[in-house]
Amino acid sequence: MKFLLLLFLYATASCQNILQRQDYKRLFADHLFCSGDYLRAVEEYESCLHFGYNDTIDFKIMLSLNAMNKYNLAEQKSVRLMSNSSFKDLVVAERLKILMTGGNFSGLRDLYSASRSEYTAAKKLRNFSFFYSDKDSLPSPPYLLIPFNEAESSELQTLYDKKMNLPSKDPVLAGFLSVMFPGAGKIYTEEYGDAVFAALATGIFGYIAYSSFKADHTFRGYLFSGIAGWFYAGGIYGSAASAQIFNAKVSFSFTKLLDEYLRIKNYFLPDYGFCK
């Protein structure tokens, strides 16, 4: 009986999950964070905060939320960190990154102005956000490249030149060219295959209509004239739409290039060394 009672007491004492202890809980949360399991890392970090507030843990929660694209939650967390943190500059830069990844560039510049941060990464992110704006609102290189080092300035100068010389097609001109000759507008928008088939469709049905009228088949002549006209008008419309899609494609590719550059540069943020 005594043995069983002792065994019961031992079992009750040993059954306490070691992960319930604060230090192990944090180690486990760090493990999840470093292996990219951000969802559960947030859960574990949040429970660590029950033992007492720690701004590093709060910062890691913000990083995890940002990594999961939970921008709103990450921003809420960053607001709290801004007012109660020993590393305010990093939080500002991370908030700018959140706004950058969320595509809120005007919000990013407003936040930068409001924070009056002198942190280099924050300045770089603010200036880099101009590359996402229209060509006309892009500042000149001397101002744009101030916070960047020599190597980055050289790379960004290339991006600047590319942005200023992005190819563009005019939808009105594309439509006009197709009015002049079926398919010419599609050649202008570099859709060569579509251009050939637009010209063929209009040409073949136009020829059938012409030969029908010539052979006194009036009804057949009108019928094929209608079909040829339908292809002709559709070609004009399609050329204008194709020019718009060409411009959207160019813009999309450039944005993808910017995103890739930022990803490689880690948004100009330092390596925090949380996962060494």
Which residues form the interface with other proteins (CB under 8 A)? 4-5, 7-8, 11-12, 14-15, 17, 19, 35, 37, 39-40, 171, 191, 193-194, 196-198, 200-201, 230-231, 233-235, 237-238, 240-241, 244-245, 247-249, 251-252, 256
Q: Which is nearer to other proteins, 56 or 247 (CB)?
A: 247
CB of 37 to other proteins, least distance (A): 5
Q: Which is nearer to other proteins, 40 or 80 (CB)?
A: 40
B/e letters for 84-113, b = 16+ CB within 10 Å, e = fewer, are ebeebebbbbbbbbbbbbbebbebbbebbe
CB of 244 to other proteins, least distance (A): 5
Q: Which is nearer to other proteins, 249 or 263 (CB)?
A: 249
Q: Which is nearer to other proteins, 147 or 175 (CB)?
A: 175
Structure tokens at 18: 């070691």
Phi first, then psi: what are they for 101, rounded to 5°? Answer: -65, -30
CB of 68 to other proteins, least distance (A): 11
- Alpha-carbon distance of 189 to 195, in angstroms, equals 9
CB of 160 to other proteins, least distance (A): 23
CB of 195 to other proteins, least distance (A): 9
- Alpha-carbon distance of 149 to 203, in angstroms, equals 59
Q: Which is nearer to other proteins, 221 or 238 (CB)?
A: 238
